[in-house]
Chains A and B, each alone.
Chain A
Amino acid sequence: MSLAKTRLQEERKLWRKDHPFGFFAKPEKSADGSLDLTNWRAGIPGRKDTIWEEGIYPITINFPNDYPSKPPKVKFPENFYHPNVYPSGTVCLSILNEEQDWRPAITIKDIVLGVQELLSDPNPDSPAQEPAWKAFAKDKELYTRKVKEQAKRYQNYNA
């Protein structure tokens, strides 16, 4: 078994034993019904008392073959509204960047918590899309409205 697989199995065990409240994360099923450990689906609840709170936001986590040497790729649905999410849905977060803060010790739990934090606490210095970034910087009212609209859309997302 490859290095990535062993580690991912362990990650799965760890997650099932204990994970933060309101989150879910699980490997996708492959065509033949077996678990595909390299592709995970997860739900990130918006933090309480923020404009994100009502939604549970879906992400996919894709692990490369050389994981955990290389970080996984985390994606929201396309055109997800957030200053640090690319139009493709790819998340721009330093702990997910090989050249920045990725370290092999980062777990799935660290990742989903990191993404949750990013949702309500965007980084205006690394814009990834124009609409959300502009609104966040210049028109807070519009930004709040858009985020809340989006939260409603993802209200009922779950496993």
Chain B
Amino acid sequence: MSEEGSIDYDFDEDEASDFSFESDYDDQNDNMIDTPIESPKDKTDISKLAKFKKWTTKEFINENFINAAVKLQNLQLPQCNLEDLLIMLHQLKWQSEEVINNYYDNYDKLMNDCGIPKVKNNVIKEKLEYSCPICCEEYDNIKTFQLSCGHEYCINCYHSYLKTQLTNGQLIRCIDTSCNLTIPHLLTQEIFDLFSQDVRDPAQDFFEVPTANSKYAHNMLLSSAARSYINSKKSKYKWCPAPDCENLVELVDNYALHLDNDDDDFDEYLSDEESTLLDPSTNNVKDKSKSPSVDRPIDISLTPIVSCGTDHQFCYNCQYENHLPCPCNIVRSWIKKCKDDSETANWIEANTHNCPKCLNSIEKNGGCNHMTCRTCNYEFCWICFKEWSIHGSQFFKCNNFDKSEKDAIELNQKQKRVSLQRYLHYYKRFAVHESSMKGDMKALDKINQRMESFMSEQSKQNLSNLSWTDVQFLKDAFKALTNGRKTLKWSYCFGFYMKELIFAEVFEQTQEHLNRVVEDLSKIVEEINDKKNNDRSTELIMKNKKALISLTNAVTKGQQSLIQCAESGLKEERLKFDLSI
């Protein structure tokens, strides 16, 4: 569970832990990201109608696990206690229906499978002179733990057992091999807490009215159960790909037609989209009858960009950061290109020759044309690649010159060189923005910290009535800068695959504009953060407030217009991709 986060995040959390039994519809809708609905009739625009819901891991556990148990207790199974209901839900993969059915149809088996005994007597004891059968240590004074079965082991052994069992997200049973009893969720946490270093603030607990949700607030077993549950439903839930972010996004409703409400459908849609987009022959399909939608132009407004509770935007389809203006297939192709060694291979092609005998790569960096391969000792002529012995032993003279053959080789090499340079051109810019983005983040983090301490200082001394809304512009600048860089970064990937059409220049101009404003904004941030200006940073921030605000707007606008330019260009086919590069 992530405890860091912006103010909004904390606010959301409070709201979520404020347990309401039947969460009303409007409330849920706040979390929905509605993507604009333009033409509901158009069947191909499925992702436009998709609805996504943001979750933090904590909210997810509260809603789907704890509230599910509370609901069962309040409505269908009031005779059960919450612990047992949680175990039953956990055992039956969190399906309330299954719990109710099994409870009434097959009670004994359910209790047995869940490892819930009729009489409960789980105890953590303080013991003198105890010898544990697991670690075989003789303790003078030790805590032990046993479930109702009476299988008693020392708390150290239980703790390391729990730690290893935690990884698979299943219910945890008694250590004894033949014993099926389950350790209740609260107890697992109690044991972990015995070993935990950080002590929770008692004041916080004092003000908190203990609810079902707060009792389980830090339950590690539930977190691990949530992880494995979410991972097992990959098409419905996607983790936010941002580093250290523990939020996820749920696909609530992706269907233009509410006919088939199962996961396969979306997968199908995705793979369908994938295949049409990935197919380089998309623009001149032979068999139109088979896939009528294949010929349609690319529409990047369909890219399912979602944002998690902490405002990290990502593509639900690729589970990769927001890569607009690039469509998903271009992104995949680019990532693959950057990852594999295709460019290394290109360099080798462009700059080396193979030994005609053993085919080892040789780079000639000087010397005469009489080559001796270091690997196989074959002697040959660098000009004609034939055996050296036919060239005589006097001075160099190669008459075995076949012009057309030679030209073909050179042309090929030249093309390879140009293509390599082209790739490097775009890759360099792509990479520069990526690394600048990281630099900016660090700088902005520092500024944020400084602002915070400045604000608290000010309010302590009652020096000013600045409120957080007055420095909101800093946060906005932060967001605009990183988002602007991200778009710019991907626009170079876009550029790499772009065909040289007239409209391409318009795209490049828009890109150039965004580049300029992003750099300007970044420069101010850098200046504020400069060590030389350490003492004046808050002063500089306030002084540059106007410039920061206007540049923030300019960046956001520039970013939008670049994406729009790409979007309309692709839609009206003024821009096209060449995937054969």
> Which A residues are closer than 8 A to B by beta carbons?
3, 6-7, 9-10, 66, 68-70, 95, 98-99, 101, 103-106, 110
* Chain A CB within 10 A, most for which of B135, B161, B168: B135
A104 to B177, CA, bound (A): 8
Q: Give the contacting residue for A99; candidates B160, B161, B163, B168; CB below 8 A.
A: B168
Give the A-B contact count at a CB cut-off of 8 A.
42
Tell me, in angstroms, the Cα distance from A72 to B133 when the chains sit together. Answer: 17
A-B contact pairs, 21 of them (CB 8 A): A3-B135, A3-B137, A6-B136, A7-B134, A7-B135, A10-B136, A68-B157, A69-B160, A69-B163, A69-B164, A70-B164, A95-B177, A98-B164, A99-B167, A103-B175, A103-B176, A103-B177, A104-B157, A104-B161, A105-B151, A105-B177
A3 and B137 CA atoms in complex are apart in Å by 8
Across the interface, do B133 and A105 meet the contact criterion of CB distance under 8 Å? yes
| Minimal beta-carbon separation of A81 from chain B (angstroms) | 29
Contacts of B151 in A (CB 8 A): 105
Contact with A along B113-156 (1 / 0, CB 8 A): 00000000000000000000111110000000000000101000
Q: Given A99-B168, A104-B161, are A68 and B176 also a contact pair (CB < 8 Å)? A: no
Nearest CB on B from A152, distance (A) = 34
B160 touches A105 (CB 8 A): no
Minimal Cβ-Cβ distance residue in B for A10: B136
Nearest A residue to B157 via CB reads: A104
> Which residue among A10, A70, A103 has the maximum number of chain B CB atoms within 10 Å of its CB?
A103
| 8 extra interface residue pairs, beta carbon distance < 8 Å, beyond A7-B136, A105-B151 | A3-B135, A3-B137, A9-B136, A69-B160, A69-B164, A105-B133, A105-B134, A105-B177
Main secondary structure of the interface of A (DSSP, over half): loop
List the B side residues contacting A69 at CB < 8 Å.
160-161, 163-164
CB distance from B171 to the nearest CB of A (A): 14
Q: Are A110 and B177 in contact (CB under 8 A)?
A: yes
Contacts of B176 in A (CB 8 A): 103, 105
Q: Check B177–A68 contact: CB distance below 8 A.
A: no
B 388-399 binary contact with A (CB < 8 Å = 1; else 0): 000000000000
* CB atoms of B136 and A104 under 8 A apart: no
3 cross-chain pairs, A with B, having the tightest CB-CB distances, nearest first: A10-B136, A7-B136, A69-B160
8 Å CB interface, B15-44 against A: none
| Alpha-carbon distance between A48 and B564 when the two chains are bound, in angstroms | 79
Known: A98-B164, A104-B175, A105-B175. A68 touches B135 (CB 8 A): yes
Task: Report how far A69 CA is from B136 CA in the complex, Å.
Answer: 13
B176 closest partner in A (C-beta)? A105
Residue of B nearest to A69 (CB): B160
Nearest CB in chain A to that of B132: its residue: A7
Chain B residues contacting A98 (CB-CB under 8 Å) are 164
Chain B residues, Cβ within 8 Å of A66: 160
